[in-house]
A and B are shown apart, each in its own frame.
Chain A
Amino acid sequence: MTESTHPTVWLQHNKIQLALHQLKGDTKDQSSTPLLLLHGLGEPLQPPTPPWDQWSGPIWALDFTGHGASTVPRGGGYTAEALMGDVDVALAEIGPATILGRGLGAYVGLLTAGARPELTRGVILSDGSGLTGGGEGPQSSTWFLPGDADGRAPDPYALYELSNDVRPADYAVNFLHLLLAGSELEVPLVVAAKNRPPWLAAVAKDPAVITEPLEQAFGRYNPVP
């Protein structure tokens, strides 16, 4: 368990207890869009730094399964799709939100936004650990047994499996198209990442997607600039 100085809401996703940290704002504030921060692979909770603290609404940060204060399950079995369920459970709690995803959180943010366009008020895909995954092909089934799976976060199975999971470009683009079809926003997704693994290069290439620096993308979705 990771100590947090912020209020934490505990959510149940199947057998996992998820920690959703409120970094800023009043839990009862329904007036402005919340910002949901999704961390990179293996990252501990990061306090918001400028300009993120300028967000006019509440700011939340979710610990994925096997990370931070969330449950570390036994025996691995991680998929980005399971983590998409983590984010969806968080959205069910906080309502429609702008998602800022780092690394792994960018990929999972894309999947979630495509699956739940009505709950997404813009998604920003940014650099961070676990952005690349395991490539596009079928070669990524590999042998791994961690020597130190002791129940502490980050789960070594998460670190391994979510840096080796297959991420085909056409699969990612399918989620983008679902988002574009289901969102009311003119620009529902921004690519701010400088690193562009194949899945992200394919997303960034779509004419409906804007690529711009992180600060600019943040300003685009901040309800009160």
Chain B
Amino acid sequence: MGRYSLAVTNASSPSAGSYAGARAPDRFWKVSSSGLSLAAYQWGQDDGRPVLLSHGGFDFARTMDTFAPLLADGGWRVIGWDHRGHGDSEHAALYNWDADIRDGVAVLDSITDQAVPIVGHSKGGALALTLATIRPDRVTALVNLDGLPSHRTVPDISDRERKRLMASELTARLDFRRRAHLSLRRPGTPQELALRRQKMNPRLSLEWLQYLVTVGARESEDGWRWKLDPSMRFGGFGPIRPEWSLARMPGIGVPMLAVLGVEQEAMGWGTLPEDVEPWLPPGAQLVPLQGVGHFAHIEQPDVVANLVLEFLS
């Protein structure tokens, strides 16, 4: 059995909504990553130069519906995928960082065996960073959209308090795991789902979030639910420290563009230019965007796409 299979279908969905500037992918196919089924997407034509696009945590590929077409219009064959457990990809039994990277390479393998540029937002940017260091043979350039970590930690809580928080978080996490096989995401009307998402994405318009519901949620008898695996929960858990990604950065051997949304918000990582400047590889470009938050490519798709197109040219 091969690692991936191609089953090309039309990406258009009868229930997809509309949003100014949003464009559905031109192609949709399934990729098998060691048997796990992943949803892959292409914006642009088959004869374009491939670029791999990775979404952020708790997002999905179609959150790129305004940004990806701009890269496609610039001549690129933009390949995205839903991370395992996200969007239309299979809900996995297990999740970790290396598995996401293997999944990304499986998607890349499904269109080319060559090296390509990788563009990633948030968690997807950090993934791209890791991919470029452990599979440098597959990466020609790296674009990180507000996905650079920092050494900042939760400020000044006492050690005792930190332990108490950890204990209660562990208990809550394990209690949840005991019944995770029964859990479903909370149902609601499309409007309710959009409003809930706006709490985590306060800088994004309700109109955009309503559009996302039409491509990132599905309807069942008792209402709409986000497709995201209900066993996934917010909050880092485990020994991995985000700032470890910083240690990888100086070793990046390909051209790198890092875009930081300077406005701080809940989903952002609180990273400031001075946090990452000392760790940038030689020749890397760091572009802080004033007045823009964590979802820079959604808030300002033209600005970010122009930066990326210029960099990749």
Interface, chain A (partner B; CB < 8 A): 12-16, 65, 71, 73-82, 84-85, 88-89, 92, 114-116, 137-138, 141-146, 149, 151, 157, 161, 165-168, 171, 174, 177-178, 181-182
Contacts and interface: CB of A to CB of B under 8 A. Distances in A.
Given A65-B93, A76-B94, A177 B177 contact: no
A109 B171 CA distance: 15
Which residue among B3, B98, B173 has the maximum number of chain A CB atoms within 10 Å of its CB? B98
Which residue among A74, A84, A114, A171 has the maximum number of chain B CB atoms within 10 Å of its CB? A74
Which residue among A13, A141, A146 has the maximum number of chain B CB atoms within 10 Å of its CB? A141
B91 A15 contact: yes
Nearest to A76: B99
A206 to B, nearest CB: 14
A13 B35 CA distance: 20
Contact of B34 (A88, A115, A145): A145
Contacts of B59: none
Given A143-B134, A182-B167, A138 B93 contact: no
Contacts of A13: 177-178, 180-181
Contacts of B247: 138
Contact of A141 (B101, B167, B241): B101
Given A13-B177, A75-B84, A75-B99, A168 B239 contact: yes
B231 interface: yes
Interface residues of B, number: 43
B125 to A, nearest CB: 15
Contact of A76 (B102, B166, B248): B102
Contacts of A165: 239
Contacts of B36: 74-75
Given A77-B84, A178-B166, A144 B98 contact: yes
B237 interface: yes
Given A141-B134, A177-B163, 4 more contacts: A77-B95, A77-B98, A142-B134, A178-B163
B92 interface: yes
14 contacts: A13-B180, A14-B231, A15-B231, A74-B34, A75-B34, A76-B102, A77-B98, A89-B178, A92-B178, A138-B247, A141-B130, A143-B135, A144-B98, A151-B35
B56 to A, nearest CB: 18
Given A84-B174, A138-B241, A177-B163, A74 B35 contact: yes
Interface string B54-96: 0000000000000000000000000000001000000111111
Which residue among B166, B231, B238, B239 has the maximum number of chain A CB atoms within 10 Å of its CB? B239
Contacts of A151: 35
Nearest to A79: B96
B122 interface: no
A14 B181 contact: yes
B172 to A, nearest CB: 10
Interface string B227-251: 0000100000111110011011000
A82 B95 CA distance: 9
B103 interface: yes
Which residue among B96, B101, B133, B245 has the maximum number of chain A CB atoms within 10 Å of its CB? B96
B177 A141 contact: no
B170 interface: yes
Tell me if B's interface is mostly helix, strand, loop or mixed: helix
A63 to B, nearest CB: 14
Contacts of B177: 13-14, 85, 88-89
A157 to B, nearest CB: 8
Contact of A115 (B170, B181, B239, B248): B170
B103 A14 contact: no
B219 to A, nearest CB: 23
A169 to B, nearest CB: 10
Nearest to B182: A12
Nearest to B130: A141
A15 B181 contact: yes
Nearest to A112: B174
B97 interface: yes
List the 4 shortest-distance A-B pairs measured between CB atoms, nearest first: A77-B94, A138-B244, A75-B36, A73-B93
A73 B92 contact: yes
A35 B103 CA distance: 39
A88 B176 CA distance: 11
A185 B101 CA distance: 43
A15 B34 CA distance: 17
B94 A115 contact: no
B167 A178 contact: yes
Interface string B174-190: 10011011000000000
A166 B96 CA distance: 12
Given A79-B238, A85-B174, A149-B35, A71 B130 contact: no
B33 interface: yes
Contacts of A65: 93-94
A145 B141 CA distance: 24
